[in-house]
Structure 1
Amino acid sequence: MEQTLDHSAGDGTHALDRQLPEQLFSALHDIGFDGQGITRATYGAGENAAHHLIEAAADKLGLEIRRDWANNLYVTLPGRDRSRPAVMTGSHMDSVPGGGNYDGAAGVVAGLTVLASWTAAGFVPERDVTVMAIRAEESAWFPISYLGSKAAFGLLSESDMATRRNDGAGMLGDMIRQSGGQPDAFAVAALDPKSIDSFVELHIEQGPVLLERDCPVGIVNGICGSIRYRSAVVHGQYAHSGATPRSYRSDAVIAGATLMLALQQEWIRREDAGQEMTLTFGVCHTEADLAHFSAVSGRLDFSIDVRSRDIVLLRQIDEFIHEQAKLIEKTCHVRIALGQQTSTSPSISDGALVQSAIDSAANMGIPAICMPSGAGHDTALFATQGIPTLMIFVRNEHGSHNPMESMELSDFMKGCAVLEAVLRKRSTAA
């Protein structure tokens, strides 16, 4: 007998099974634990095992299962009218090297938790609801943002298939084939934007906002875009530290530091003017074999990561980077090679979905705040395809991309309750 899920009392988590996510998170930890953190490498053994785990759990629930050529996994609860565009949710299953257990995986587990509650209650949506376990979101492995999502929409090229994984494990096409995929079909789109009603992604927050605000759930109103120079190099000239006067030096470290300080000061100026952005130099090192304390450094490798929801601001900062690089080349007698730029576009959450999440949280008495996402997510790629999107954040201590990720299951269940309510409303609307 079909039942309607009742969320009229409490926080809605009573309608959701806590045992399933507990079991899945425990199994995911066992799959990815590397002795210190979690490593589920893109198109590696860890990511493959995580996808098999989700597939097995979905099979036990009697859900439809399919994969595309890139081995993205789709788990579907059929709706009454299968001709209508589907409601989708999900996230990625890979991790950064030595990361945490919840980044990405929480969104897939959340979607499966919702569908498990619906099948247990005999609830049938009006349209298909699909949980997507996405491949290769973490660009720590391949220098391509949203790789799995791009594959699903047929947005990868033949040259992308020849991209080598950053740890030297192999080329993308070969690793897709080894995982059971079909890289020769790289131009095939498994997803048609017209067949997707909406995409809602639950994810741990990767910053401290929810923790500092003592709030378990965040409703994301937009995702930052980015401009990145992953492999920038300052080329100077090695020289003796005592025998080379300042005016004769081509000091790569001083040049790099000058550029970084100029960009940092520009960030402060922009922030003081009320503009929103972040700036990070995540890589900065001299050559280990040549650099030493009594030599002027001849080379500095570094990276630049700029993020903002304002695409005009991103372009302005990029122009500033190039202007400062040219200026510093002249004043410091060096050559600055910024290298290839990679970028992502900002996205704005769908207003109706945002309001649905706000109302759902309020109706269940779940504290929630609206906030932007500084980190990029697969949701942004769905948004660029014209699909209405939303993200739901769950409070997480100690940030992300490190072994200390610390999401409480009670917070996760609150996020799941909001996700369930949004998906239910969207999948039953006329």
Structure 2
Amino acid sequence: MTLADAIAAQAPLVQRLLDGVAEIGRDPPGITRDAFGPGENRARALIAAAGAALGLAASTDAGANLTLRWEGTDSAAKPILIGSHLDSVVQGGNFDGAAGVIAGLGAVAALQAAGRRPRAPIEVLALRCEEAVWFGLGLIGSRCLLARLPPGALELTHARTGRTLAQSIEDCGGDAAALRAGRPLRDPASLGAYLEVHIEQAPQLVEAEAPVAICLANPGNVRHPFIRITGADAHTGLPHRFRRDAALAGADLALELEKLWLAEEAEGRPMAVTIGRFHTPFGHHSLTMVSGGFEMSLDLRAYDPAHLAALEARLGEIVRMVAQRRRVEIALGERSAAAPGPMHPEIIAGLEAAAVRCGLPAPRLNSPGSHDANNFAASGVPTGMLLIRNRNGSHNPDEAMETADLMAAIHVLADYLAV
């Protein structure tokens, strides 16, 4: 059987798994697979069962990540890891993360059907809790694997259960004590490569009329989930010169950050600013009161470490300027960060060559999103990514990946692995 025929033969398996994780996460109008909860756990069990049917050896590490291993012809060779995540945001879409785990299984199944056993072992990873919505910190599975958890992370609490990250990991078969030791669960030097397949989070591939792209880099980010602005409550009629209006200070801060964003992009330095939470205090705000309190969140991202550091310095300057202008206090509060993830040049070239052999157009694109690939790249593991066309972005119920486009990505991935 040719590899192309073997790929085509895996379409029913791939569709069954896509439908399975959708049913597990069903939460109208979208999908919710809660990290370290029933949604992620049931999806993990579905993937584990599919791996067992392919003869893959399953293991769970101290971070409760699932690894499904297929031995190569040379057991001493460094393994090639194919990974992504199974959790989702609340009422998001079905494909963000899950499509990448399923792609790994689809590629292994196709190689087996075609009788093409690679030299190096292949490991399909279902990494825990990639989405930051659950603990205010993202990429947790890969952070655990590579000893990149920030100080205090194991004491963060789950948005739904209230249990700490340490308790949540142990509830799912992990070992928080091993994580506290601060040593990588896998030595990065022992890993041959990390590959990730992920839906694109912007409509660039729709524009390009291509089913798949070769990722050049993922942005790193600096996040402040709980920025607090403190002014003074006052009567609605208070003249402007006397006000310490926290709500207007929040608006001011947001607009200054947008000015920064537009100026940077005009100079050819891609970045992004996202404000997800933006509100006066619930239970205290009023139609007839100047609000002395305001809360917001901030995600600041860029593709180059030096650029991201410079943007964070500018953030500090903007905060000081707005605080002085509005006569308020602005506390940025908790901070988390993810390093930018440049893809490895040799893997980029190898995936491009595979796409050519498959007869597929595969433009080079930056990904708008940070992914587990960032942590592998930052740890020195050669890293590559394929992006799949997705019409309506991600983190919403309308994610619109076509299974045929996922199959195209699986074809490129399997061809790359078979060389």
Q: Does the pair score TM above 0.5?
A: yes
CA distance in 2: counterparts of 1:252 and 1:271, whole angstroms: 29
8 Å CA contact 2:6, 2:110 repeated in 1: no
Please say if 1:202 is aligned against 2:202: no
3-state secondary structure, aligned to 1:102: coil
Please say if 1:48 is aligned against 2:33: no
Write the letter of the residue equivalent to 1:195: S
Map residues 158-177 of structure 1 onto 2, 5 A cutoff: 159-177=152-170
Question: Match of 2:403?
Answer: 409
Q: Which runs of 4+ in 1 moved over 6 A?
A: none
Question: Match of 2:299?
Answer: 305
Report the CA distance between 1:184 and its aligned residue: 2.2
Map residues 279-290 of structure 1 onto 2, 5 A cutoff: 279-290=273-284
Report the CA distance between 1:118 and its aligned residue: 2.0
Report the CA distance between 1:158 and its aligned residue: 7.8
Report the CA distance between 1:168 and its aligned residue: 4.2
Please say if 1:20 is aligned against 2:13: yes
Which string of whole-angstrom CA distances, capped at 9 and with x for unpartnered residues, describes residues 61-83 of structure 1?
Answer: 11111111222111111011111
CA distance in 2: counterparts of 1:100 and 1:321, whole angstroms: 32
8 Å CA contact 2:60, 2:173 repeated in 1: no
Question: Match of 1:397?
Answer: 391
Report the CA distance between 1:16 and its aligned residue: 4.6
Question: Match of 1:428?
Answer: none
3-state secondary structure, aligned to 1:368: coil
Report the CA distance between 1:13 and its aligned residue: 7.2
CA distance in 1: counterparts of 2:152 and 2:7, whole angstroms: 49
Question: Match of 1:215?
Answer: 210
Q: What percent identity do the matched residue pairs reach?
A: 35
Please say if 1:250 is aligned against 2:251: no
CA distance in 2: counterparts of 1:101 and 1:123, whole angstroms: 30
2:331 to 334, 337, 345: 337
2:236 to 232, 241, 251: 241
CA distance in 2: counterparts of 1:269 and 1:378, whole angstroms: 29
Deviates more, 1:31-40 or 1:114-123: 114-123
Cα pair distance change 1:284/1:341, threshold 3 Å: same
Map residues 100-179 of structure 1 onto 2, 5 A cutoff: 100-156=93-149, 159-179=152-172
CA distance in 2: counterparts of 1:271 and 1:396, whole angstroms: 24
3-state secondary structure, aligned to 1:266: helix
Cα pair distance change 1:268/1:154, threshold 3 Å: closer
Length, aligned pairs only: 417
Report the CA distance between 1:217 and its aligned residue: 0.6
8 Å CA contact 1:84, 1:195 repeated in 2: no
8 Å CA contact 1:233, 1:336 repeated in 2: yes
3-state secondary structure, aligned to 1:304: strand
Which string of whole-angstrom CA distances, capped at 9 and with x for unpartnered residues, describes residues 137-178 of structure 1?
Answer: 111111233110111123447833222112343111211222
Q: Normalization by structure 2: what TM-score?
A: 0.95
Report the CA distance between 1:383 and its aligned residue: 0.7
Q: Normalization by structure 1: what TM-score?
A: 0.93
8 Å CA contact 1:13, 1:416 repeated in 2: no
Which string of whole-angstrom CA distances, capped at 9 and with x for unpartnered residues, describes residues 187-206 of structure 1?
Answer: 35331212211111000111
Q: CA RMSD in A?
A: 1.6
Question: Match of 2:381?
Answer: 387
